[in-house]
Structure 1
Amino acid sequence: MLQKADQVPAVVAEFIGLELDDAAMARVIEYCSRDYMSSHPHQFDDHVLRQKRESVWQLPPDGTASKAIRFSAKLSLSPALRARLDEVWADTVQKRLGFESYAAFRRSLPNSLGVTRVD
């Protein structure tokens, strides 16, 4: 979705049957952008939940949990963990749905944005 992030809102709107004029769609695209979220991090963090949780759990009010970050880090899994995930996939998803891998599952899904899917 990040490859064509500006097109995702139109796909979602179509999926849920929501009609937006050009001005409204432009606002949605702007508000969904990483630049906007990074510039307004307090609107996208979990501060309300954190404030409630901290008082109930008596935690110090100094944590941060923003999801609006300017960089992307790729998750790295150990070979042992990858092997275990492959076993679980084979025992559950592959047995029930027939997909040999997550990549095979993704390839079966509609790709209305025409993005390049990386396995």
Structure 2
Amino acid sequence: MDAVNVAVRLRPLLPREPSDAVANWKLAGRSITCAKVPNASFTFDHVFDQTSTNSGVFEAIAKPIVQSTLAGFHGTIFAYGQTSSGKTHTMMGSNREPGIIHLALDEIFNIISECSHRLILT
């Protein structure tokens, strides 16, 4: 894994948003292109479309960071974007679809429970 990875996740449209709002944006592999702006193509390490789930994002992006952190490396997961872009949903999630924070904590405790050499204090 590189020192810094950049991922983008396109959120589904909200009911109040016009259905053609995403028509100008095209995803192709790791790139996003805007049809309204000539030569406006952006490439990222990972691109997740509107159908992606928090668990899918976690598996691809956050799980390796959590595992590396427990192996002794520093790791940071940073969500950045404009208001209503889906940061809170991705990081916190909901009761129905847990976010990256919840999934990361589950992963940490799963790894700890599988450590046969861990010290148990009584």
User: How high is the TM-score relative to the length of structure 1?
Assistant: 0.25
Relative to its length, the structure with more strand (as a share) is 2
